[in-house]
With several copies, the nearest count.
Chain A
Amino acid sequence: MPVRVLLFASYAEALGRDEVAFDPADEATIADVLAHLRTLPGADRLPPRPLVAVNARYATVTDAIRSGDEIAIIPPVAGG
Protein backbone atom coordinates (compact mmCIF):
# COMPACT_ATOMS: atom_id res chain seq x y z
CA MET A 1 0.00 0.00 0.00
CA PRO A 2 1.47 3.35 -0.95
CA VAL A 3 2.39 6.18 1.39
CA ARG A 4 1.33 9.76 0.74
CA VAL A 5 4.17 12.20 0.25
CA LEU A 6 3.14 15.81 0.86
CA LEU A 7 4.91 18.76 -0.73
CA PHE A 8 4.49 22.36 0.38
CA ALA A 9 5.25 25.91 -0.66
CA SER A 10 8.39 26.16 -2.83
CA TYR A 11 8.76 22.38 -3.05
CA ALA A 12 5.21 21.96 -4.30
CA GLU A 13 5.91 24.70 -6.81
CA ALA A 14 9.16 23.05 -7.91
CA LEU A 15 7.54 19.68 -8.58
CA GLY A 16 4.28 21.12 -9.85
CA ARG A 17 2.15 19.20 -7.37
CA ASP A 18 1.47 19.04 -3.66
CA GLU A 19 1.23 15.31 -3.25
CA VAL A 20 3.03 12.25 -4.62
CA ALA A 21 2.15 8.60 -4.03
CA PHE A 22 5.00 6.19 -3.38
CA ASP A 23 4.83 2.44 -2.93
CA PRO A 24 7.64 1.56 -0.55
CA ALA A 25 9.54 -1.70 -0.54
CA ASP A 26 9.84 -3.60 2.73
CA GLU A 27 12.11 -1.84 5.23
CA ALA A 28 12.00 1.37 3.21
CA THR A 29 13.10 4.59 4.86
CA ILE A 30 12.48 8.25 4.16
CA ALA A 31 15.70 8.23 2.15
CA ASP A 32 13.93 5.96 -0.32
CA VAL A 33 11.07 8.45 -0.59
CA LEU A 34 13.55 11.24 -1.33
CA ALA A 35 15.34 9.07 -3.90
CA HIS A 36 12.02 8.56 -5.65
CA LEU A 37 11.19 12.26 -5.58
CA ARG A 38 14.54 13.03 -7.19
CA THR A 39 13.49 11.09 -10.28
CA LEU A 40 10.62 13.55 -10.87
CA PRO A 41 10.78 16.70 -13.03
CA GLY A 42 11.67 19.79 -11.01
CA ALA A 43 13.32 17.81 -8.20
CA ASP A 44 16.65 19.45 -8.97
CA ARG A 45 15.24 22.42 -7.01
CA LEU A 46 15.03 20.38 -3.80
CA PRO A 47 17.99 20.85 -1.43
CA PRO A 48 20.35 17.95 -0.69
CA ARG A 49 18.90 17.34 2.78
CA PRO A 50 15.41 18.75 3.18
CA LEU A 51 13.55 18.59 6.49
CA VAL A 52 11.16 15.67 6.62
CA ALA A 53 8.20 14.59 8.72
CA VAL A 54 6.27 11.37 9.22
CA ASN A 55 2.65 11.60 10.31
CA ALA A 56 3.02 15.29 11.14
CA ARG A 57 6.13 14.90 13.33
CA TYR A 58 9.68 15.83 12.41
CA ALA A 59 11.69 12.77 11.40
CA THR A 60 15.10 11.88 10.02
CA VAL A 61 15.84 10.37 6.62
CA THR A 62 16.96 7.08 8.13
CA ASP A 63 13.55 6.57 9.79
CA ALA A 64 11.57 3.60 8.54
CA ILE A 65 8.22 4.21 6.87
CA ARG A 66 5.15 2.05 7.09
CA SER A 67 2.21 1.44 4.86
CA GLY A 68 -0.30 4.28 5.24
CA ASP A 69 2.21 6.80 6.59
CA GLU A 70 1.91 10.45 5.64
CA ILE A 71 5.38 11.67 4.70
CA ALA A 72 6.03 15.40 4.34
CA ILE A 73 8.97 17.20 2.80
CA ILE A 74 9.28 20.46 4.69
CA PRO A 75 10.71 23.60 3.05
CA PRO A 76 12.54 26.10 5.28
CA VAL A 77 9.83 27.32 7.65
CA ALA A 78 8.94 30.99 7.62
CA GLY A 79 6.09 31.48 10.09
CA GLY A 80 5.54 34.60 12.14
Chain B
Amino acid sequence: MRAAIVQRPLDAAALLAEVAAVGHGATTCFVGTVRDTHAGRHVSGMDYSAYEAMALHELNAIVAEAEARFPGAQVVCEHRTGALGLGEASVVIAAAHAHRAPAFDACRFVIEELKQRVPIWKREHYVDGTRAWVDPTAMAPEGSHP
Protein backbone atom coordinates (compact mmCIF):
# COMPACT_ATOMS: atom_id res chain seq x y z
CA MET B 1 0.00 0.00 0.00
CA ARG B 2 1.08 3.53 -0.70
CA ALA B 3 -0.52 6.95 -0.93
CA ALA B 4 0.93 10.23 -2.08
CA ILE B 5 0.02 13.85 -2.68
CA VAL B 6 2.01 14.98 -5.71
CA GLN B 7 2.43 18.09 -7.84
CA ARG B 8 3.25 16.30 -11.10
CA PRO B 9 1.03 14.66 -13.73
CA LEU B 10 -0.35 11.27 -12.68
CA ASP B 11 0.43 8.03 -14.50
CA ALA B 12 -2.32 5.42 -14.27
CA ALA B 13 -0.22 2.78 -16.04
CA ALA B 14 2.53 3.17 -13.45
CA LEU B 15 0.08 2.59 -10.60
CA LEU B 16 -1.44 -0.42 -12.35
CA ALA B 17 2.07 -1.83 -12.71
CA GLU B 18 2.86 -1.08 -9.08
CA VAL B 19 0.09 -3.34 -7.74
CA ALA B 20 0.62 -6.07 -10.33
CA ALA B 21 1.71 -9.48 -9.01
CA VAL B 22 1.36 -13.04 -10.26
CA GLY B 23 -0.94 -13.78 -7.33
CA HIS B 24 -3.37 -11.10 -8.52
CA GLY B 25 -5.86 -12.06 -11.19
CA ALA B 26 -7.73 -8.77 -11.13
CA THR B 27 -6.60 -5.17 -11.14
CA THR B 28 -8.92 -2.17 -11.19
CA CYS B 29 -8.22 1.49 -11.44
CA PHE B 30 -10.07 4.74 -11.06
CA VAL B 31 -8.95 7.96 -12.69
CA GLY B 32 -10.64 11.22 -11.74
CA THR B 33 -10.21 13.97 -14.31
CA VAL B 34 -11.14 17.64 -14.65
CA ARG B 35 -14.44 17.90 -16.45
CA ASP B 36 -15.52 20.70 -18.79
CA THR B 37 -18.87 21.30 -17.10
CA HIS B 38 -19.99 21.33 -13.51
CA ALA B 39 -23.43 22.14 -12.17
CA GLY B 40 -24.31 23.54 -15.57
CA ARG B 41 -21.32 25.91 -15.82
CA HIS B 42 -18.52 25.74 -18.38
CA VAL B 43 -15.26 24.94 -16.62
CA SER B 44 -11.84 25.87 -18.05
CA GLY B 45 -9.61 24.42 -15.31
CA MET B 46 -9.22 23.63 -11.65
CA ASP B 47 -6.84 24.51 -8.81
CA TYR B 48 -6.38 21.78 -6.21
CA SER B 49 -4.93 22.59 -2.80
CA ALA B 50 -4.47 20.44 0.29
CA TYR B 51 -3.59 20.53 3.96
CA GLU B 52 -0.80 18.33 2.84
CA ALA B 53 0.36 16.62 6.04
CA MET B 54 -3.19 15.78 7.03
CA ALA B 55 -4.27 14.81 3.51
CA LEU B 56 -1.36 12.41 3.28
CA HIS B 57 -2.24 10.95 6.67
CA GLU B 58 -5.91 10.48 5.76
CA LEU B 59 -5.11 9.04 2.34
CA ASN B 60 -2.70 6.52 3.84
CA ALA B 61 -5.31 5.62 6.46
CA ILE B 62 -7.95 5.05 3.76
CA VAL B 63 -5.64 2.85 1.69
CA ALA B 64 -4.77 0.84 4.80
CA GLU B 65 -8.47 0.52 5.65
CA ALA B 66 -9.19 -0.71 2.12
CA GLU B 67 -6.55 -3.42 2.45
CA ALA B 68 -7.88 -4.42 5.88
CA ARG B 69 -11.48 -4.50 4.68
CA PHE B 70 -10.60 -6.55 1.58
CA PRO B 71 -7.88 -8.93 2.78
CA GLY B 72 -5.36 -9.70 0.08
CA ALA B 73 -5.98 -6.43 -1.75
CA GLN B 74 -3.04 -4.26 -2.69
CA VAL B 75 -3.94 -0.60 -3.14
CA VAL B 76 -2.11 2.53 -4.20
CA CYS B 77 -3.45 6.07 -4.56
CA GLU B 78 -1.97 9.34 -5.75
CA HIS B 79 -3.74 12.70 -5.65
CA ARG B 80 -2.38 15.67 -7.53
CA THR B 81 -2.51 19.29 -6.39
CA GLY B 82 -1.87 22.53 -8.26
CA ALA B 83 -3.39 23.94 -11.43
CA LEU B 84 -4.96 21.30 -13.67
CA GLY B 85 -6.34 21.72 -17.16
CA LEU B 86 -9.40 20.03 -18.65
CA GLY B 87 -9.02 16.27 -18.89
CA GLU B 88 -6.02 16.13 -16.57
CA ALA B 89 -6.11 13.51 -13.84
CA SER B 90 -6.48 14.75 -10.27
CA VAL B 91 -6.53 11.31 -8.65
CA VAL B 92 -5.59 7.77 -9.61
CA ILE B 93 -6.33 4.67 -7.54
CA ALA B 94 -5.18 1.16 -8.46
CA ALA B 95 -6.30 -1.94 -6.58
CA ALA B 96 -5.30 -5.54 -7.21
CA HIS B 97 -6.52 -8.80 -5.70
CA ALA B 98 -6.63 -12.48 -6.53
CA HIS B 99 -10.31 -12.01 -7.44
CA ARG B 100 -12.26 -9.28 -9.16
CA ALA B 101 -15.00 -8.42 -6.64
CA PRO B 102 -12.63 -7.21 -3.90
CA ALA B 103 -10.43 -5.49 -6.51
CA PHE B 104 -13.41 -3.40 -7.62
CA ASP B 105 -14.70 -2.87 -4.09
CA ALA B 106 -11.35 -1.76 -2.70
CA CYS B 107 -10.91 0.78 -5.51
CA ARG B 108 -14.42 2.13 -5.02
CA PHE B 109 -13.96 2.29 -1.25
CA VAL B 110 -10.90 4.50 -1.61
CA ILE B 111 -12.51 7.10 -3.87
CA GLU B 112 -15.69 7.26 -1.76
CA GLU B 113 -13.74 7.72 1.49
CA LEU B 114 -11.32 10.15 -0.14
CA LYS B 115 -14.22 12.40 -1.10
CA GLN B 116 -15.57 12.28 2.43
CA ARG B 117 -12.52 13.03 4.51
CA VAL B 118 -9.27 13.92 2.77
CA PRO B 119 -8.60 17.66 3.25
CA ILE B 120 -8.22 18.65 -0.38
CA TRP B 121 -10.05 21.55 -1.98
CA LYS B 122 -10.62 22.65 -5.50
CA ARG B 123 -11.40 25.98 -7.09
CA GLU B 124 -13.06 25.88 -10.45
CA HIS B 125 -12.18 28.35 -13.16
CA TYR B 126 -15.02 29.07 -15.53
CA VAL B 127 -14.93 29.98 -19.17
CA ASP B 128 -16.51 33.35 -18.28
CA GLY B 129 -13.42 34.24 -16.20
CA THR B 130 -14.97 33.77 -12.77
CA ARG B 131 -13.95 31.11 -10.28
CA ALA B 132 -15.42 29.42 -7.23
CA TRP B 133 -14.50 26.94 -4.53
CA VAL B 134 -16.31 23.63 -4.94
CA ASP B 135 -18.48 22.77 -1.96
CA PRO B 136 -19.94 19.28 -2.33
CA THR B 137 -22.04 19.78 0.80
CA ALA B 138 -23.85 22.70 -0.88
CA MET B 139 -24.63 20.92 -4.13
CA ALA B 140 -27.38 18.65 -5.29
CA PRO B 141 -26.12 15.04 -5.13
CA GLU B 142 -26.43 14.73 -8.88
CA GLY B 143 -23.94 17.51 -9.44
CA SER B 144 -21.49 16.47 -6.77
CA HIS B 145 -19.81 13.64 -8.62
CA PRO B 146 -17.16 12.71 -9.27
Q: Residues of A with Cβ closer than 8 Å to B?
A: 6, 8-10, 13, 53, 56-58, 72, 74-80
Contacts and interface: CB of A to CB of B under 8 A. Distances in A.
Interface in B1-36: 32
Interface string B124-146: 00000000011111100000001
A8 B114 contact: no
A76 B136 contact: yes
Contacts of A76: 135-138
Interface of B: 32, 48-51, 53-55, 57, 79, 90-91, 100, 111, 114-123, 133-138, 146
Give the residue among B51, B120, B136, B146 with the most A Cβ atoms within 10 A.
Answer: B51
B105 to A, nearest CB: 17
Contacts of A74: 51, 119
A72 B49 CA distance: 14
B51 A8 contact: yes
A78 B49 CA distance: 10
A58 B116 CA distance: 12
Nearest to A58: B117
Given A78-B134, A79-B115, A9 B121 contact: yes
15 contacts: A8-B49, A9-B121, A10-B121, A53-B119, A57-B54, A72-B119, A76-B137, A77-B117, A77-B118, A77-B119, A77-B120, A77-B136, A78-B134, A79-B55, A79-B91
Contacts of A79: 48, 50, 55, 79, 90-91, 114-115, 118-122
B57 A9 contact: no
A4 B138 CA distance: 28
Contacts of B123: 9
A79 B49 CA distance: 9
Contacts of A10: 121, 133, 135
